[in-house]
Chain A
Amino acid sequence: MSKAVQFFSSRWGIISAGLFVGIFAPLLQHWGNPKNMGICVACMERDIAGALGLHRAALVQHIRPEIVGFVLGALIAAILFREFKPRGGSSPVIRFFLGFFAMIGALVFLGCPWRALLRLAGGDWNAIVGLAGLAFGIWIGILFLKSGYTLGRSTKAGGFSGLVFPIVMIVLLLFLLFAPQFGRTPEGTPTGPIFFSQKGPGSQHAPIVVSLIIALCVGFLAQRTRLCTMGAIRDVILIRNTHLLSGILGIVIAAFMMNLILGQFKAGFSDQPIAHANHLWNFLGMVLAGLAFALAGGCPGRQLFLSGEGDGDAAIFATGMIVGAGFAHNFSMASSPAGPGAYGPASVIIGLIFCIVMGFTMREKIS
């Protein structure tokens, strides 16, 4: 066991986790997931929000088993390696809204940091603009962190509290498998409460079992290696450490090779799948997301893996993202391939103001 612990915390450990994601995300696309979206935590949580009827954008509704697998894979790893520690209570309301606005920023760009890497590896150069925005947002977050920003300490929580979010994931899986249709339209036709897209990105998916098994492995590996896209950029800026970055490079290089092999590489800015080429809002959307991730201590994927470890604060952030996705579509804030939504730019500015106010006001001396 201790050899396994050593391997996972080594540089080769994190590179292996990155390579695994980089190999299997393009394969998930090959097997049915939307283009450059083999794995995208933001998009997949958005699809879940739609499937639950939290938004009615008919093209993006599906219960994505990948999200379920990430949490449960991390839970299994945490229990096996005795790291399952229920905890919480570190400014939950602020974390909820950091998740909420992180999702809005991500949906203005159209992707979480993982999808930004996969878009890059697929030749979508708009991802470079998004990643630059992400890095800039993280840099602002670091300035706050260095000047004393904190959401306060979490404390140990009762044993069951750490299982609530994983159980919610199991319920989502049951919703996917059984798709209950007990809602009725005024005419009496069955509808909802679980909605599945009949066309568009929400209708495209790899076989459930395949997605679930791959996601369980990703969750397991990422929990062990602490894979985090936000942390990768943050550690380079903050302490000149490239440990986490090597995992990220593993994702990009492996996904690039896989895309070449599978014929999924298409270079350019325009006509990229589920993407737009408005540089300003691609950049600013990801500035907001990066800042929110830095203030909350992890990218969306990492928040799911922490949720699997029993971290209630991370679960609140993830819940905020799912609710944020509902609002993003209902309030015309999410982008489409045509460009930013009508209220996308305004919502990014509101989100940035929220994050900056939190950055200046949430302070505590640690000794």
Chain B
Amino acid sequence: MSEKIDARGLSCPQPVIVTDRKMKELGRGVFEVLVDTETAKENITRLAQQSGWQLDVNEEFGDIRLVLKKV
């Protein structure tokens, strides 16, 4: 069961900050971030690309589930 962060409704740049913090805390592995704006999705996508994490994006019921993975 991967860890999950609910970043819905948070102002920019808090979704990025909590994601970045989790990346540093885990070092590698899998976790999920739930966001609700395209801006948060794009910002986390750039952060993932920059720090070498793979990203899967699933949109469901207006929310966006981002699965981040690093082996």
- Interface residues of chain A, those whose CB is within 8 Å of chain B, are 9, 83, 85, 87, 90, 145-146, 150-156, 226, 228, 231, 234-235, 238-241, 243, 296-298, 313, 366-367
Contact = CB atoms under 8 A, between A and B. Distances in A.
Contact of B18 (A152, A226, A241, A366): A366
B9 A90 contact: yes
30 contacts: A83-B37, A85-B36, A85-B62, A87-B9, A145-B14, A150-B11, A153-B10, A154-B9, A156-B62, A226-B39, A226-B42, A228-B12, A234-B13, A238-B17, A239-B16, A239-B20, A240-B50, A241-B46, A241-B47, A296-B11, A297-B11, A297-B13, A297-B14, A298-B12, A366-B5, A366-B6, A366-B7, A366-B10, A366-B14, A367-B5
Nearest to B42: A9
Interface string B1-31: 0000111111111101110100000000000
A153 B9 contact: yes
A367 B6 contact: yes
Interface residues of B, number: 23
A154 B10 CA distance: 7
A307 to B, nearest CB: 14
B9 A155 contact: yes
Contacts of A9: 42
Contacts of B50: 239-241
Given A234-B13, A239-B50, A366-B14, A153 B8 contact: yes
B60 interface: no
Nearest to A298: B12
A113 to B, nearest CB: 15
A151 B10 CA distance: 8
Nearest to A141: B13
A359 to B, nearest CB: 14
A85 B13 contact: no
Given A85-B37, A366-B7, A238 B13 contact: yes
Contacts of B20: 239
Contacts of B36: 85
Contacts of A85: 36-37, 62
A298 B9 CA distance: 15
